[in-house]
Amino acid sequence: MNRSDRENLALSDEIPAEISEALQLGLQQLLQGQESEAQFTWMSVMAMAEPEQMEVWTEELVRILDAEAIAREVTKDFPLTRVIRQYIYEFSSDRFDNLCSLVWLSLELDIFSSEVKAYLLTLTQIVLSADIEDMLEASQILMDIASKLLGIHPFHDLIELVIEKFEGVSEFQTELLEIRKQLSSTYYQLGTGQYQQQQFAPAFRSFQKVLELSVDLTEPHRADLNFNCGVTLAKQKKFEDAIAFFQAALTSNPNLTSAQQQLSKAKYEVHMAIAGYQFTQDWFSWNIPTWEVYFSKFRNMPHLNFLEVGCWEGRATCWLLENVLTAPTHAITCIDTFAGEDYLNLEQNYANSRMKCNA
């Protein structure tokens, strides 16, 4: 006889036989679909209890109901099992194992009502504050709940809580890996949709979630995710934060050209802000990697004289003065009208000629 059996036997010894029989009668009425009659029977019994007896008699009722629920679960009579476990919850809402079973049964039966959402909220709060040792007996059913939630409410807090709480339990690593994969895939799809709708801040959070959840990423995939995070930050003009993600992308995939370009662009924007430059548009930043390759050899040459034709607003000139022409003996001559490219004048001339023809 185990401890639970001894406790149940001791509990039964404290309860008059007629009381236990009345509680059993209420269960039989419930099993026959006479729910109102069952409630009346149980309430009538409890009305006879002295204050010091109430807790003991309630525990006896819960024991009777729990035994029946376990038997019904074995036969997969889930609708009736759920009804029984709802009554257990009403009489003893602090039973963690019963709450887990009640939530699982609801999801198994495709019930996601406001009542079930309330059960889930309570369960989430308990899991949040509980130690892993307190949840081990219900660990498998918690895994099953998390798996079912992925198809119903994939962003429910309970899923990530289960991952966090059980990540150190070796026997659940296979199940946790599958949960992580499904959840990260869902976040990736969400992030892609948010980016397409120009919701860049939420998109960043979604792509970052994918990085946090994924444990077996290939380096090219990791590079792409870091790149996506960087781009969504850059779209928000958070260039300093974006730089770290572009660098991480290049660490995983040094040949990712798009990350090289975006990194150069982000550094350009940061430098622009620090230097206080103001230019009407950016046509230059994409050229910086190429210029760095071909102009780096001139950096230490004395007495350099550069002639720049068509420097527009002087952005290229500034870059040369900061990165190549840094010695006192260096000089640069710029030739430009600073009035825009020739095609702008041509377009205006064409418009004027059309007006004359129409006149």
Q: What's the pTM value of the predicted model, to 2 decimals?
A: 0.77
pLDDT at 339 over 60: no
Work out the average pLDDT over 273-293: 84
Which superfamily, per CATH, for 167-276?
A: Tetratricopeptide repeat domain (1.25.40.10)
pLDDT (0 to 100) of residue 355: 43
pLDDT tens-digit map of 163-175: 999 998 889 999 9
Per-residue pLDDT band at 110 (split at 50, 70, 90): very high
pLDDT (0 to 100) of residue 99: 97
Sort strands 331-335 and 305-309 into parallel, antiparallel or unpaired: parallel
Instruction: Map out the domains of the chain as residue ranges.
Output: 167-276, 280-359
| 3-class SS letters over 236-305 | CCCHHHHHHHHHHHHHHCCCCHHHHHHHHHHHHHHHHHHHCCCCCCCCCHHHHHHHHHHHHHHCCCCCCE
219-235 vs 200-213: helix crossing angle, rounded to 10: 160
Mean pLDDT over the full length of the chain: 88
pLDDT tens-digit map of 51-98: 889 999 999 999 999 999 999 999 999 999 999 999 999 999 999 999
pLDDT at 313 over 90: no
pLDDT (0 to 100) of residue 342: 52
| Nearest one of 181, 130, 184, 125 to 157, comparing CA atoms | 125
pLDDT (0 to 100) of residue 6: 44
By percentage, how much of the chain surpasses pLDDT 70?
A: 89
pLDDT tens-digit map of 294-305: 998 888 888 889
Q: What is the dihedral of CA 206, 208, 213, 215, to 10 degrees?
A: 140
Reduce the DSSP state of residue 16 to 3 states and report it. coil
pLDDT at 1 over 50: no
By percentage, how much of the chain surpasses pLDDT 90?
A: 65
pLDDT tens-digit map of 191-244: 999 999 999 999 999 999 999 999 889 999 999 999 999 999 999 999 999 999
Work out the average pLDDT over 347-353: 47
Per-residue pLDDT band at 352 (split at 50, 70, 90): very low
pLDDT (0 to 100) of residue 338: 57
pLDDT (0 to 100) of residue 256: 96
Work out the average pLDDT over 325-350: 68
Choose between 162 and 335: higher pLDDT: 162
The dihedral built from the CA positions of residue 152, 69, 25 and 51, taken in this order, carries a sign that is: negative
pLDDT tens-digit map of 13-50: 578 899 999 999 999 999 999 999 999 999 999 999 88
